[in-house]
Amino acid sequence: MNSALLPNYGTPDLEFDHGQGSYLYSSNGQRYLDFAMGIAVNCLGHCHPKLVAALTEQANKVWHTSNLYRIAQSERLAHKLMEHSFADKVFFCNSGAEAVECGFKIIRRYHHSKQQPQRNRIVSMTGAFHGRTLATIAAAANPLHCEGFLVGDAGFDQAESGNIESLRRVVDARTAGIIIEPIQGENGIKVLPVDYLAAVRELCDQQDIVLMFDEVQCGVGRSGSLYAYQQLGVSPDVLASAKGLGGGFPVGACLSIEKLAATMTPGSHGSTFGGNPLAMAVANAVIDEICQPSFLSELASNSEYFRRELALLIESNPQRLKAVTGLGMMIGLNCHIDNTELCSRLQEHKLLVVKAGGNSIRLLPALNIARSELDEALSIISNVLKAW
């Protein structure tokens, strides 16, 4: 049945027919509590009425015109992002990797525009994940993702994540920018220390190095603030956003400060679909919902409750679980038991979670999840651990 697809995803069996809120319903009629949310994408759950309304209303007007013409919805969304973040300018695209690529181009273009084309190298962190395009795999330098694909080093260096001395050793006169996930996602949910990020910011300021944050996974409310950097006390110059931004509709965005954005002159970059009216209609509705004053405060109290309960679960299962990590609703459970096996047993018990590095699992519920649904997940996890 799947033989016409490239084999890169393997052959998963489980298929879903529809979803509502925190639940997905499989084609054979089973209900699953979804703490994967399309890998941190469906931030308002499945088929949120406001997103469905925004999408269908726009679908009845116009779907696509291209960037040859003005798209009012993209200007509206850019203004909202500007209002709620450090950004002066925004570029819209369709995925996380594209948002990161745009950031890489901005970093190099900035130094090029200063007549310093030799400053073109970008430093990433060990354990990073930035996507699957050629530049983003070269940046993250995960051998599993690079094998057979790269020519040369593509202009990237790497420092040990969280280690400022390692970063100082790697940075030289050719360094143009540094890319960091303030909360690493694929590598297990790891929040970078505030003092480390402050030291990186200082280093960048001293040497005119562009600081870029990849908030593709931790952004758009996932960490408990619109962007995670807002809780971590360090503002970037460029930020990649995607995943939750479209609540399930493909959207990416690259946010930038004016000084860098100004170098991206007409014709320097582009995307056929980026900023498309359908995507913009949905993303505007997502941001309107998340930026309501009560939204993030409710998320904070639910997150606190959930993490407290998870900590109790760890206390009663010290042989099986190690620690709870992360911020907001970006939660990692570090395990002693095998994380792949835990994911599949939870799935057998109708709870969907995502595996991550460092023998951990990711719990990524809808940001607007109900307390009762958190309790349901806790009870499934507890039962699975009891039977281990």
Which among 19-27, 28-36, 125-133, 295-303 is the span making contact with ligand PLP, rule CB under 6 A?
125-133
Task: Mark the segment that binds ligand PLP (CB under 6 A) among 72-80, 209-217, 226-234, 314-322.
Answer: 209-217
CB of residue 187 vs ligand PLP: minimum separation in angstroms? Answer: 9
Instruction: Please spell the DSSP secondary structure of 254-298, one letter per residue.
Output: EEE-HHHHTTS-TTS---SSTT-HHHHHHHHHHHHHHTSHHHHHH
Q: Which helix (H) or strand (E) holds 363?
A: strand 360-363
CB of 327 to ligand PLP, least distance (A): 14
> Which segment (78-86, 124-132, 282-290, 298-306) binds ligand PLP by CB under 6 A?
124-132
| Contact pick of 58, 85, 217, 223 for ligand PLP (by CB under 6 A) | 217
Least Cβ distance, residue 137 to ligand PLP (angstroms): 10
How far does the chain reach from its first CA to its final CA, in angstroms? 34
Question: Could you tell me the smallest distance in angstroms from the CB atom of residue 130 to ligand PLP?
Answer: 5
Q: Among the candidate windows 20-28, 91-99, 297-305, 314-322, which touches ligand PLP by CB under 6 A?
A: 91-99
Q: Are 236 and 227 in contact (CB under 8 A)?
A: no
Between 106 and 385, CB nearer to ligand PLP: 106
Listed as own residue / partner, the contacts of 20-24 with beta carbons closer than 8 Å and 24 or more positions apart are: 20/45, 20/46, 20/47, 21/45, 21/46, 21/47, 21/48, 21/366, 22/46, 22/365, 22/366, 22/369, 22/370, 22/373, 24/352
d(CA 219, CA 199): 22
Q: What's the length of the chain?
A: 388
DSSP 176-238: EEEEE-SEESTTS-EEPPHHHHHHHHHHHHHHTPEEEEE-TTTTTTTTSSSSTHHHHT---SE
Strand partners, 249: 247
Site string for ligand PLP, 169-188 (x = CB under 6 A): ------------x---xx--
- Would you count residue 127 as binding ligand PLP (CB under 6 A)? no
User: Is 130 a binder of ligand PLP (CB under 6 A)?
Assistant: yes
- 214 lies in the site for ligand PLP, by CB under 6 A: yes
The closest residue (CB) to ligand PLP is 96
Q: Which of 216, 257, 286, 342 binds ligand PLP (CB under 6 A)?
A: 216
Distance CA 222, CA 347 (A): 22
Q: Which is nearer to ligand PLP, 150 or 262 (CB)?
A: 150
**Residue 289 touching ligand PLP (CB under 6 A):** no
Pick the closer one to ligand PLP by CB: 157 or 215.
215
Q: Which of residues 315-334 bind ligand PLP (CB under 6 A)?
A: none
Residue (217 or 334) nearer to ligand PLP, CB: 217
Q: Does 302 bind ligand PLP (CB under 6 A)?
A: no
Among 91, 104, 129, 229, which residue sits at the site for ligand PLP (rule: CB under 6 A)?
129
CA Rg value for the chain: 21
Q: What is the per-residue binding string for ligand PLP in 24-63, x denoting contact by CB under 6 A?
A: ---------------x------------------------
Residue that has been written with the tokens 């983003």 in this structure: 136
- Residue of 242, 280, 285, 333 interacting with ligand PLP (CB under 6 A): 242
Half-sphere exposure of 355 (CA within 13 A, CB side): 12
Q: Cα 139 to the chain's mean position, in Å?
A: 16
Does 226 interact with ligand PLP (rule: CB under 6 A)?
A: no
Q: Which of 36, 43, 93, 100 binds ligand PLP (CB under 6 A)?
A: 100
Read out DSSP for 310-325? HHHHHHH-TTTEEEEE
- Measured torsion, CA atoms of residues 356, 26, 247, 127, in degrees rounded to the nearest 10: 10
Which CB sits closer to ligand PLP, 100 or 255? 100
- Helices vs. strands in the chain: H and E counts, helices first: 14, 17
| Residue ranges in contact with ligand PLP by CB under 6 A | 39, 95-97, 100, 129-131, 181, 185-186, 214, 216-217, 242
